[in-house]
Structure 1
Amino acid sequence: MEDQSAQWPIGRLLAAASRAVEREWDERLRAIGLQHAALIALDIALRNGPTGADVIARTARVQPQTMSRTLERLERDGMIVRSPHPEDGRRRLVTVTDHGRQMWDTARHIERELLPDDPELRARLGAILAGSRGTPPVA
């Protein structure tokens, strides 16, 4: 059967491509023991340094309870440690461990294999997101 996707409206083509990439990306992450939400949390924590779970949740645009479950898995798997906040004993700081950094590095390598960076595509997708009514997702 001949591929008809060249005839599809651009919105349908973009949505189908997005789903295909997301499926492959999720499968590859699962193969190394990561979920996409965990990768987002690791990325935010690495960019911000030791930080609160509330900041990670807000940056990722998810509810604190949702992020809490993700952080529990990351801590169980040795990718982060949570320690008391020096200025507020009710809060805990999230710090990425060496193992977490290695997992993040591996995931970024897989991402580059799956979708090598293309500045033109990046610019076009960024323009689509900038023109959309919603806010772009993190990572």
Structure 2
Amino acid sequence: MSLRVVINLILIRYFMKFFIPSAIRLLVFTVFIYLTACSPDQGTYEEEPAPDYTGTYQIVSVSSESPAAPAPAPSGTVAVVKIWGYTSIVSVTLTLNKEELLAGELTLRKASGATYDMYIGNSIRYGTIDGKEVTLNYFRNNVKYTVVARK
């Protein structure tokens, strides 16, 4: 509760004590609490609307961070679907060589230009998307793989 709400609450309570009968005072007090509790907080997070980058992207390359672990052949898709009711959260499904490797919700955050970074939660950056190309990272057997897919 903000300081403004507390001060208003004290003033209204004090004013009502002297001039208004107790039944009406209780009703006004209840309505006041209801209205202040339901008002949106100032400074809350608002989602930044992201462009519609949904669709199916074809995998064009897969690279491995380790020379000892060869990268699989680049065959498959990355499906990006908007989550209903959210403007910056998408569901991403990575299917590589008929095996589903990643399926989950990623949050889009503006990086630069038309490029958005994709995060799991608020801290783990999983890749980028710009409407023409998706770059995703995934780990298997402690090896990092990078997948690039294009529309």
TM-score, structure 2 normalization:
0.16
Would you tell me which structure has more strand in proportion to its own residues? Answer: 2
Larger Rg: 2
Higher relative contact order (CA 8 A, sep 6+): 1
